[in-house]
A and B are shown apart, each in its own frame.
Chain A
Amino acid sequence: MKERQKIQKQFAFAQVGNRTPFRVPDGYFEQQEQSLKATAALRMTESRHKNGRLWIAAAACAAMLLAIYPVTRMIRIAQTEDAPIYWATDETDNWTDFANADIFMDESL
Chain B
Amino acid sequence: MIFRKSQSHIERLIERYHRPLYWHVRRMVVSHEDAEDVLQETFIQIHTHIVELQKAESERAWVYRIATNEALMWLRGRHEFVSMEDEDVSSLIGTLMADSYADTGDKLVLLFQEAVLTLPTMQRTVFNLRYYDELPYEEIAAITGSSVGAAKTNYHFAKEKISNYILAHQ
Contact = CB atoms under 8 A, between A and B. Distances in A.
Interface in A83-104: none
A69 interface: no
Contacts of B15: 33
Interface residues of B, number: 40
Interface string B27-57: 1001010001001100110010000000000
Given A21-B102, A23-B103, A12 B166 contact: yes
Contact of B40 (A13, A20, A36, A47): A36
Nearest to A16: B112
Interface of B: 3, 6-7, 10-11, 14-15, 18-19, 22-23, 26-27, 30, 32, 36, 39-40, 43-44, 47, 96, 99, 101-104, 106, 108-110, 112-113, 131-132, 159, 163, 166-167, 170
Given A18-B132, A20-B113, A21-B106, 7 more contacts: A13-B163, A21-B109, A33-B15, A36-B40, A40-B10, A43-B44, A44-B3
